[in-house]
Amino acid sequence: MRARPGLSSRLARWLYSLAIYLLSPLIWWRVWREWAPTHPRLERLGLIRASGDRPRLWLHAASVGEVVTATSLIRALLDDHPDHDLVVTTMTATGAERVRQTFGDRVSHHFLPLDFPGSARRFIARLNPRLAIITETELWPNLLATCRRRNVPVVVANGRLSAGAFRLYQRFGALSRGMLETISWIGAKSPVDAERFISLGAPAARVAVTGALKFDLDVDDATRQASRRLRASWGGRPVWIAGSTHPGEDEQVLAAHAALRRHIPDALLILVPRHPQRFDEVYARCLDAGEQVLRLSAKPTLTDATTLLLGDTMGDLMRLYGCADVAFVGGSLTPIGGHNLLEPAALGVAVVSGPHLDNLREIADTLAQSDARIEVGDGRSLGEILVALLGDDERRHALGEAGRAVVAANRGALARTREQVAALLNDS
């Protein structure tokens, strides 16, 4: 006899909860490091302050990348719903810091609780949101089930499912179906993402293709002006940036810079590692490579002898992209999956990446098809393309303007998401 879908989903969630209880020592050890002095670790068990009298909206952005993507949406929510308090949750401490730097006290922040049933119940009961918005696709079964029991509508904004994530969700079909049936609306980044959500059990009527929220990137005038001031202080030397680099990429970036400087001796590299815990390690690597390196955190005054500026601060990547003539976006020379190509593109900076772009394949292909991105395979080819671009103003400017045009032409996900949030709030 075939089990009823509802029963199967409940059983799957019970087994899932049992598994995370058994794994709780390992899980707790992993999140113990993701901590900020302003937040008690017991937030991970749903022990947050109870909500006040004002209604609340809740948005979850797992880490720095998701916070950056959601920035335009967060600003829109603050503008659209001034009578609501906005609470942003993250999983990582770096994400929390990015929220603080970007929004200050305009939003509240908590760490997302671990997905134990009791933690989920406490968190939702104390937060008491009118609506929940999950950016990207970090879906937690017990949190979603609690939202359903308490009649909290859930929106997935900028929803995506990579091929790997899709296969993983398929392996746990009943659990996936149970989660997706609870979601009120999914704004998928692409038709492929939409098809995957529906295949896993999301009702087709609740899934819409909105495009990528990243295209609605908001570069404010203050950031642009800060970039211009900083760049002007360095004189007229050529500048390129390697943003969000990972282990295995730094060496290739440094090799490319050495090759570039053999052709253009006064070229300056801005190197920005993805994770702050690597700042000291990468600084030492730069010194070992013979670079004359200064650290941004020291607020240095660059001289003609400076060959490399290490971006070892949080929240400054957009400002540093705006200082560059060419931007290499990391996480792409090693199989990480790539990082946000649209940040430099929105600024009109020529974009270069490696081939490993599984996390943003549609965006990468859109840029490439519009002659707005150049792909390289290793540090040697990166050095060659830097020499070519920094020696050819016309080609470099055309690449940058094509990127800017792609960003402008693909905006729209933000407007559709705002409309859906407003509709659900009106219905609730």
- pLDDT tens for the 428 residues of the chain, in order: 233 444 588 899 999 999 999 999 988 888 887 878 888 889 999 999 887 789 999 999 999 889 988 999 999 999 999 999 999 999 998 899 989 989 999 999 999 999 999 999 999 999 999 999 999 888 999 999 999 999 999 999 999 998 889 999 999 999 999 999 999 999 999 999 999 999 999 999 999 999 999 899 878 899 999 999 999 999 999 999 999 999 999 999 999 999 999 999 999 999 999 999 999 999 999 999 999 999 999 999 999 999 999 999 988 999 999 999 999 999 999 999 999 999 999 999 999 999 999 888 889 999 999 999 999 999 999 999 999 999 999 999 999 999 999 999 999 999 999 999 999 999 87
User: How many C-alpha atoms does 56 have within 13 Å on its Cβ side?
Assistant: 21
Q: Are 190 and 362 in contact (CB under 8 A)?
A: yes
Mark whether 146 and 276 lie in a shared domain. no
Number of domains in the chain: 2
Is residue 66 among the annotated active site residues? Answer: yes
Query: Measured at the alpha carbon of residue 340, what is the angle toward residues 334 and 345, in degrees to the nearest 5?
Result: 120
Q: Report if residue 177 sits inside a domain.
A: yes
Mark whether 121 and 246 lie in a shared domain. no
Q: Report if residue 216 sits inside a domain.
A: no
- CB atoms under 10 Å from CB of 47, counted, come to 15
Q: Is the Cα dihedral 80, 219, 99, 253 positive or negative? A: positive
Mark whether 240 and 178 lie in a shared domain. no
- Whole-model pTM: value is 0.78
Domain that holds residue 128: 5-211+412-427
Selecting among 34, 43, 66, 343, the annotated active-site residue is: 66
Mark whether 295 and 359 lie in a shared domain. yes
Q: Residue 18: give its domain's CATH number.
A: 3.40.50.11720
Q: Report if residue 158 sits inside a domain.
A: yes
